[in-house]
Chains A and B, each alone.
Chain A
Amino acid sequence: MAATQPAVRPMPRNTWGTVSWLFMRISALALIVLTLGHFAIQHVFNDVHNLDLAFVAARWSNLGWRIYDALLLGLGLAHGFNGLRIVLDDYVTSHTWNRVLCWVILIVGTALTIIGMVAIIGGVRRT
């Protein structure tokens, strides 16, 4: 049989698919440690009823904890909101709505990350 010309149009490579897939898995591994650790600290090793501004300020006086919380915040929101985007891809088939809601997810996710990071960097403000 002579050389076959593929019947399929050439398509640009879709790197986002790969990036998203790898990111979800790598962030998942980090988040398992970060999230379960955070939960253990807040709810098991400490009583959540003892939580107050002083408690947070004491933790954040240690730079290590601020970095921990920043990683938890950034990775957690990214993993979670990318997950939202994935669920969106499954259920919203209208192309316009899909794009619009995708942007909403991106904007809300970024906004929350910025708000959280500012708070971590700024620290507890005593009234």
Chain B
Amino acid sequence: MELTLRIRRFNPETDTKPHWEEYTIDADPDQKLLDALLYVKDHLDGTLTLRKSCAQGICGSDAMRINGQNGLACRVLIKQVNTPVISIEPLYGLPLIKDLVVDMEPFWKWYRAIMPWLVNDEPAPEKERLQSAEQLARYDDSTKCILCAACTTSCPPFWANGNNYVGPASIVQAHRFIFDSRDRATAERLNIMGQAFGVWKCRTVYNCTEACPRGIRITEHIGEVKRAISLGMPKE
């Protein structure tokens, strides 16, 4: 089928601002959008710049805005998008470097700020620290995060004030540890989440949950953290 990709291009060496360019290709509807982009890069315009690695929805490298909504290019099939022209832009809310590549450093900065490591200084058991299936279920969903930044860059409060908000992804990562029964730094984590740059910046817009390629119930987990701070941790 004939497909036109309308891509937002920007070359920092020559352009003052981004502009649209169109590429018409013959595409297979069952293919991924990433395949179409790579075809353009390989055959039509080698200067097209994008990030990709595993190309199967695990590494989180190729998050971008597809027809106005964030997603992973390697997880979206052309037939799912189902429009003759597909517009592709870089994620909004992180500094643009070139074409579809954004600077992820502000995202990593917020990730580091939430202490993304298990804290448990009790003497190590002989084998594993045991956990029941119910205990795992409390945070299992938030372990699925691949740090692709699709959620954080779909969040209007983050767009407005990214310097003062951790963003949904960091809250999900914090949730993963807060509700992990093996972790012992709950009070400290909740204190971080309760700061002005933490969960209280969330306006329950819900874009994050819709953008997440892993189907994580982000808004729900942010709500769980808000309740844990205000009303105390739920009983196990």
A and B touch in the complex (CB under 8 A): yes
Which residues does A use to contact B, with CB under 8 Å? Answer: 3-4, 6-8, 10-11, 13-14, 17-18, 20-22, 86, 89-91, 93
Whether A18 lies near B229 (C-beta < 8 A) is yes
Whether A90 lies near B203 (C-beta < 8 A) is yes
In angstroms, Cα B121 to Cα A21, docked, is: 34
Surface stretch bound by A, among B33-41, B80-88, B155-163:
B155-163
Closest 5 CB pairs of A and B: A17-B200, A3-B121, A18-B230, A90-B160, A14-B195
With both chains docked as a complex, state the minimum distance between the C-beta of A91 and any C-beta of chain B, in angstroms: 6
With both chains docked as a complex, state the minimum distance between the C-beta of A29 and any C-beta of chain B, in angstroms: 15
Whether B113 lies near A20 (C-beta < 8 A) is no
Whether B163 lies near A93 (C-beta < 8 A) is yes
Is B233 part of the contact surface with A, judged by Cβ < 8 Å? no
A to B CB contacts below 8 Å, 23 in the list: A4-B119, A6-B115, A7-B112, A7-B115, A8-B115, A8-B188, A11-B191, A13-B194, A14-B191, A14-B194, A14-B198, A14-B200, A17-B198, A17-B200, A18-B194, A18-B230, A21-B226, A22-B230, A89-B201, A90-B157, A90-B203, A91-B160, A93-B161
Is B192 part of the contact surface with A, judged by Cβ < 8 Å? yes
Is B196 part of the contact surface with A, judged by Cβ < 8 Å? yes
Which A residues touch B117, using CB under 8 A? 4
Which residues does B use to contact A, with CB under 8 Å? Answer: 112-113, 115, 117, 119, 121, 156-157, 160-161, 163-164, 185, 188, 191-192, 194-196, 198-201, 203, 226, 229-230
Q: With A90-B160, A90-B203 in contact, do A14 and B196 touch (Cβ < 8 Å)?
A: yes
Question: Which of B195, B200, B203 makes the CB contact (< 8 A) with A11?
Answer: B195
In angstroms, Cα B201 to Cα A21, docked, is: 10
Whether B121 lies near A8 (C-beta < 8 A) is no
In angstroms, Cα B119 to Cα A72, docked, is: 47
In angstroms, Cα B198 to Cα A122, docked, is: 44
Q: With A13-B191, A14-B194, A89-B201 in contact, do A6 and B185 touch (Cβ < 8 Å)?
A: yes
Which B residues touch A4, using CB under 8 A? 117, 119, 121
Q: Which of A6, A17, A20, A21 has the most CB of B within 10 A?
A: A17
In angstroms, Cα B188 to Cα A46, docked, is: 55
Whether B230 lies near A90 (C-beta < 8 A) is no
Whether B200 lies near A21 (C-beta < 8 A) is yes
Q: Output the nearest chain A residue to B163 by Cβ-Cβ distance.
A: A93
Whether A8 lies near B161 (C-beta < 8 A) is no
Whether B200 lies near A20 (C-beta < 8 A) is yes
Whether B164 lies near A8 (C-beta < 8 A) is no
Which B residues touch A6, using CB under 8 A? 115, 119, 185, 188
Which B residues touch A90, using CB under 8 A? 156-157, 160-161, 201, 203
Which B residues touch A8, using CB under 8 A? 113, 115, 188, 192
Which B residues touch A3, using CB under 8 A? 121
Which B residues touch A89, using CB under 8 A? 161, 196, 201
Which A residues touch B156, using CB under 8 A? 90
In angstroms, Cα B164 to Cα A91, docked, is: 11
Q: With A8-B192, A90-B203 in contact, do A21 and B230 touch (Cβ < 8 Å)?
A: yes
